[in-house]
């Protein structure tokens, strides 16, 4: 008989943690009253060219300002892994990943920068964004530059 999780434990995900999956798990944003940036770096993305079958490699940077939900890292890793044996155009897969993360988390802001490694002598960068309607980021705070302290030597 399966043991019930304790109150401080979350239930186990429905898919094994070591298998590729298109399912993105989420958890409650611990600071929903504040805009803050979560940045994910995915340096080893792999899929296949749908025309030639050759492997394509990319470095993804995901910048996200969450609202009520954050994406769970292990599921994000398994999600990216699920593309390994799929054929996908750079532009399509980058937009699909954005759409899937937006559908799972409904963030205030999400930008994905995909830097595709050279293919036929051409590097491709794809940048896609989502902004929740009506959301505007706070103005950046400009702080004065201060000289470096040198202690007693200077």
Q: What is the mean pLDDT of the chain?
A: 89
Q: Which residues of 25-46 are buried (b: 16+ CB within 10 A; e: fewer)?
A: bbeebeeeeeeeebebebeebe
Choose, from 35, 47, 56, 100, the residue flagged as catalytic: 56
- CB-based contacts of 43-46 (< 8 A; 24+ apart in sequence): 45/80, 45/83, 45/114, 46/83, 46/84
Phi, psi of 16 (to 5 degrees): -60, 145
Pairing of strands 55-65, 38-48: antiparallel
> Is there a catalytic annotation at residue 56?
yes
Cβ atoms of residues 69 and 31 within 8 Å = no
Measured distance CA(44)–CA(60) in Å, rounded: 8
Give the model confidence (pLDDT) of 40-58 as tens digits.
999 999 999 999 988 999 9
Mean pLDDT of 77-92: 94
The SS3 assignment for 47 reads strand
Phi, psi of 38 (to 5 degrees): -110, 130
Q: How confident is the model at residue 20 (pLDDT cuts 50, 70, 90)?
A: confident
List the Cα angle 38/66/90 in 5-degree steps.
70
Choose, from 35, 49, 63, 67, the residue flagged as catalytic: 49
Measured distance CA(89)–CA(98) in Å, rounded: 14
Percent of the chain predicted with pLDDT > 70: 86
Any residues with CB less than 8 A from the CB of 50 and at least 6 apart, and which? 87, 88, 89
List the Cα angle 127/94/48 in 5-degree steps.
130
Report the pLDDT value the prediction gives residue 147, as an integer from 0 to 100. 80
Whether pTM exceeds 0.85: no
């Amino acid at each position: 008989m399966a043991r019930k999780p304790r109150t401080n434990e979350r239930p186990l995900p429905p898919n094994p943690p070591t298998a590729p999956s298109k399912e993105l798990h989420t958890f409650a944003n611990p600071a929903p009253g504040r805009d803050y940036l979560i940045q994910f770096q995915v340096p080893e993305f792999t899929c296949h060219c749908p025309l030639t079958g050759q492997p394509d490699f990319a470095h993804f940077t995901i910048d996200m300002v969450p609202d009520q939900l954050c994406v769970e890292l292990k599921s994000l890793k398994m999600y990216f892994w699920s593309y390994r044996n799929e054929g996908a155009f750079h532009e399509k897969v980058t937009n699909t990943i954005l759409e899937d993360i937006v559908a799972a988390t409904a963030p205030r802001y999400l930008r994905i920068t995909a830097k595709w490694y050279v293919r036929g002598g051409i590097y491709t960068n794809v940048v896609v964004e989502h902004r929740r309607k009506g959301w505007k980021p706070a103005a950046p705070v400009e702080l004065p530059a201060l000289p470096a302290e040198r202690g007693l030597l200077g």
